[in-house]
C-alpha cells in the first residue's frame, strides 16, 4: 500500500514532464526535479500495478507547492476503500504524506503521453545523518482520461426545432357542401340555420392541408402526425387554435405534422350525418395517400404514420386506422334516397397508395362498430371525459346535449373510448386510456374556448406514447445485481439494443471496464453522491439520457 502512494509522487513528476514535452530525465542518481504542483490535472485517473495489486490515483486539489487527493486498490468489492494523501514541496524537497506518515521522495523515469515508466527512491537516513535512497523496481502507470459525455438533442421529447409552415397545400377535389366553417360564438340553432341555406346544393371543393416541418432538420424521413379537427362533421377548420398549436409543438420535436380540411355539412334528415362522417373518412384517406406519395418531398417516414383528432376528428382518425371497405356503413351505399359514395379510397383524388396507421390519437371520439378494431394492430391512446354528452365515453347516442331527442331520431349509438379500449386490450393492441372524471366534451379548452391545462397534459402524454412508437422503449440503466452488495463488483447495462452511439460518465466512482452496452464500476466509499450517467442517440439522431443513482 505504501508503495502505491509513493508512486503517486512519481506520477506527478511524469505529468509535469509530459506537459513540458520532456521525454526522459536523469537516472537513479539524479538529484530530483523542481516543478510547480498547480500544473497538475485534477481530471484524470492514473492506473498501474504494484506487487500484483491494481492502484488508482486521483488528485482533487493542486496549488503551486501543494497537492492532495486519494488512491485505492481495485478488487472485486462494490465499494473501494479510499485513502487520502497530500504532497508538499519545500525548497528542493518533495514530501508525500499518508496514514500519518511522511516520506521524502526522489523519482527516476521515462514518460510519454500515454504512460509513465520508472522507479522511485525513498530516503532512509543512515544513522540520521546521511541521505540514503532505497529504490523500487521499475513499473508502469497509464493515464486514464474520462470519456467526454456528449449531450444529444432529445428528439421527439423536447422542442429543438423552429417550425416552417406550408399553407393551403391542395391534396384533392371533391363535391360537397363546404370544407371550412370556423365558428366562435354561434349557437347550435344559428349554425344549423346558416347550414340549411348551404346544403341546398353541392359544389366542387378544393381540399387543402397545412404542413408543418422542423426547420433545418437533417433527418431525411421523419414520422408524420396528421391532425383532423372536430366539429360534428358540420363546423371547424384546420386553423383552429388547438390544431395549429399541436402541429407546431410536435413539429418542434422533429415530426412532420399536418392539419387538414375536409368536407363538412349534412341535411338534418335520415342517414345524412353518417354519410357526412364517411365523406370525412374518404377525404382523410385521400390526404394520407397524398402525403405517402410525396414522402420524399416532405421528408416522411411511411413506416411511422400517426393520425389524431378531437371529437369528429377522433372518429375519423379511428376509422382511417381501422375501417376497411368490408366495414362500410350501409348508409354510404346506394339506396332509394342516396347515391353510392364509393369505397374509402375512391374519392377526393386518384392517387393510389397503400399505407398503415401506426398509432391513433383519439380525443373524445368513437366508432360505430368495435369489430373494425380487428383489422389492424394499430396502437391507440385516448382521452375522454366520463360526463361527455356530445360523444359519450361508453355505448350511447351522441349529441345528447341537444334537446328534443334529436340524436336518437337520426343517429345510431356509438362505442366511445371506454369500450374501444376494453376491446383493444382483449385484442392485445398497445393502448392507453385517460379518463377525466366529471368532465364533458372538448377537454382541452375552458368555457371561453381558450386552451387549458388539459391541452398541455394531452400533449405530454401523446409525446411519450408516440416516442415509444418511434424509438421503442426508452433507454434505461439496469444494475446487476439489482441491489449492490460488497462481495460482488456490479456491472450496469442499458436496455437499449438499437442505438447508434452510447456514452457513459460517473460521479462518485470509476468505470473500470466497458463492453458493448455494459460497464463495470467501482464506487468510492466516501463519496457524497453516486451517479452513473448514460447518454446516446438512435440511428435517426434522437438522443436519450438516463441517470442511475443511490
Q: What is the pLDDT of residue 148?
A: 86
pLDDT tens-digit map of 93-136? 778 888 788 888 776 666 566 777 777 777 776 545 567 777 77
> What backbone phi and psi angles, to 5 degrees, belong to 285?
-65, -40
What is the helix (H) or strand (E) element at residue 272, kind and residue range? Answer: helix 272-293
Task: Give the SS3 label for residue 436.
Answer: strand
- List the Cα angle 208/210/214 in 5-degree steps: 155
Distance CA 199, CA 464 (A): 42
pLDDT tens-digit map of 358-392? 999 999 999 999 999 999 999 999 999 999 999 99
What is the edge-to-edge ordering of all strands in the sheet holding 531-538? 499-507, 531-538, 543-549
Enumerate the H helices of 28-82 as residue ranges.
none
Q: What is the pLDDT of residue 187?
A: 64
Residue bearing the bigger pLDDT, 470 or 41: 470
Q: What is the pLDDT of residue 19?
A: 39
What is the helix (H) or strand (E) element at residue 383, kind and residue range? Answer: strand 379-385
Domain 2-144 part of CATH 2.40.128: yes
Q: How far is CA 399 from the centre of its chain?
A: 38
Residue bearing the bigger pLDDT, 206 or 63: 206
Distance CA 272, CA 291 (A): 29
What is the helix (H) or strand (E) element at residue 338, kind and residue range? Answer: none
Q: How far is CA 267 from the centre of its chain?
A: 46
Per DSSP, which regions of 99-255 are E strands? 101-111, 115-123, 133-135, 139-144, 163-176, 203-214, 222-228
CA distances from 135 to 3, 16, 51 (A): 11, 21, 15
Q: Taking each helix axis from N to C terminus, what angle separates 312-322 and 272-293, rounded to the nearest 10 degrees?
A: 60
Distance CA 8, CA 385 (A): 68
The grid coordinates of residue 234 equal 358540420
DSSP designation for 328:
-
Is the predicted pLDDT of residue 91 greater than 80, yes or no?
no
> What backbone phi and psi angles, to 5 degrees, belong to 67?
-150, 150
Report the chain's mean pLDDT, rounded to a whole number. 86
Q: Which of 223, 326, 347, 334 is nearest to 281 (CA)?
A: 347
| Helix, strand, coil distribution of the chain in percent, nearest 5 | 25, 35, 40
Q: How far is CA 340 from the centre of its chain?
A: 46
Distance CA 69, CA 82 (A): 10
* Bridging pattern class, strands 518-524 and 101-111: unpaired
Distance CA 365, CA 372 (A): 15
Q: Residue with C-alpha cell 351505399?
A: 333
Give me the mean pLDDT over the 523-541 stretch: 89
pLDDT tens-digit map of 409-427? 667 899 999 999 999 999 9
* Bridging pattern class, strands 83-90 and 66-74: antiparallel
Give, in words, the CATH class of 163-471.
alpha beta
Distance CA 179, CA 202 (A): 11
Return the C-alpha torsion angle 324, 325, 329, 331, nearest 10.
Answer: 150
Is the predicted pLDDT of residue 36 greater than 80, yes or no?
no
> What backbone phi and psi angles, to 5 degrees, belong to 101?
-125, 150
Query: Structure pTM?
Result: 0.80
CA distances from 433 to 67, 321, 381, 428, 459 (A): 60, 17, 6, 14, 14
Amino acid at each position: 500500500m505504501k508503495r502505491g502512494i509513493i508512486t503517486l509522487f512519481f506520477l506527478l513528476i511524469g505529468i509535469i514532464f509530459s506537459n513540458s514535452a520532456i521525454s526522459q530525465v536523469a537516472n537513479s542518481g539524479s538529484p530530483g526535479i523542481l516543478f510547480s504542483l498547480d500544473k497538475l490535472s485534477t481530471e484524470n485517473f492514473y492506473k498501474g500495478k504494484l506487487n500484483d495489486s491494481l492502484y488508482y490515483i486521483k488528485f482533487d486539489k493542486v496549488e503551486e507547492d501543494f497537492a492532495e487527493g486519494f488512491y485505492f486498490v481495485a478488487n472485486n468489492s462494490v465499494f473501494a476503500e479510499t485513502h487520502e494523501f497530500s504532497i508538499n514541496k519545500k525548497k528542493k524537497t518533495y514530501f508525500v504524506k499518508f496514514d500519518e506518515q511522511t516520506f521524502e521522495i526522489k523519482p527516476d523515469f521515462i514518460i510519454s503521453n500515454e504512460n509513465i515508466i520508472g522507479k522511485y527512491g525513498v530516503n532512509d537516513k543512515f544513522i540520521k545523518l546521511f541521505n540514503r535512497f532505497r529504490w523500487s523496481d521499475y513499473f508502469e502507470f497509464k493515464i486514464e482520461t474520462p470519456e467526454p459525455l456528449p449531450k444529444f438533442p432529445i428528439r421527439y421529447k423536447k422542442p429543438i426545432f423552429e417550425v416552417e409552415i406550408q399553407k393551403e397545400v391542395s391534396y384533392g377535389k371533391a363535391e360537397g357542401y363546404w370544407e371550412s366553417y370556423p365558428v366562435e360564438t354561434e349557437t347550435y340553432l344559428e349554425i344549423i340555420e346558416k347550414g340549411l341555406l348551404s346544403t341546398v346544393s353541392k359544389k366542387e371543393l378544393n381540399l387543402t392541408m397545412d404542413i408543418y416541418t422542423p426547420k433545418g432538420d437533417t433527418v431525411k424521413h421523419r414520422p408524420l402526425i396528421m391532425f383532423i379537427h372536430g366539429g360534428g362533421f358540420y363546423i371547424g377548420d384546420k386553423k383552429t387554435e388547438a390544431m395549429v398549436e399541436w402541429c407546431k409543438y410536435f413539429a418542434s420535436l422533429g415530426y412532420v405534422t399536418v392539419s387538414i380540411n375536409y368536407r363538412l355539412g349534412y341535411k338534418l334528415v335520415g342517414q345524412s350525418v353518417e354519410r357526412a362522417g364517411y365523406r370525412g373518412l374518404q377525404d382523410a384517406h385521400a390526404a394520407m395517400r397524398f402525403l405517402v406519395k410525396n414522402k420524399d418531398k416532405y421528408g416522411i417516414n411511411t413506416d411511422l404514420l400517426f393520425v389524431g383528432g378531437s371529437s369528429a376528428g377522433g372518429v375519423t382518425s379511428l376509422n382511417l386506422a381501422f375501417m376497411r371497405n368490408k366495414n362500410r356503413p350501409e348508409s354510404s351505399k346506394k339506396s332509394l334516397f342516396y347515391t353510392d359514395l364509393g369505397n374509402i379510397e375512391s374519392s377526393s383524388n386518384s392517387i393510389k397508395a397503400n399505407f398503415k396507421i401506426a398509432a391513433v390519437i383519439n380525443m373524445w371520439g368513437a366508432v360505430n362498430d368495435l369489430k373494425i378494431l380487428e383489422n389492424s394492430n394499430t396502437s391507440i391512446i385516448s382521452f375522454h371525459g366520463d360526463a361527455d354528452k356530445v360523444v359519450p365515453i361508453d355505448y350511447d347516442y351522441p349529441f345528447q346535449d341537444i334537446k328534443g331527442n334529436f340524436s336518437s331520431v337520426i343517429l345510431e349509438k356509438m362505442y366511445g373510448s371506454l369500450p374501444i379500449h376494453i376491446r383493444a386490450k382483449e385484442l392485445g393492441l398497445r393502448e392507453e386510456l385517460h379518463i377525466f372524471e366529471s368532465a364533458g366534451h372538448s377537454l382541452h379548452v375552458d368555457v371561453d374556448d381558450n386552451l387549458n391545462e388539459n391541452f398541455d397534459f394531452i400533449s405530454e402524454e401523446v409525446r411519450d406514447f408516440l416516442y415509444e412508437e418511434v424509438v421503442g422503449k426508452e433507454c434505461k440503466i439496469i444494475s446487476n445485481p439489482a441491489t449492490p452488495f460488497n462481495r460482488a463488483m456490479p456491472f450496469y447495462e442499458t436496455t437499449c439494443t438499437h442505438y447508434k452511439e452510447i456514452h457513459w460518465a460517473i460521479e462518485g466512482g470509476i468505470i473500470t471496464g466497458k463492453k458493448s452496452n455494459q460497464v463495470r464500476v467501482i464506487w468510492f466509499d466516501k463519496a457524497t453522491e453516486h451517479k452513473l450517467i448514460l447518454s446516446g442517440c438512435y440511428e435517426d439522431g434522437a438522443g436519450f439520457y438516463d441517470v442511475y443513482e443511490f
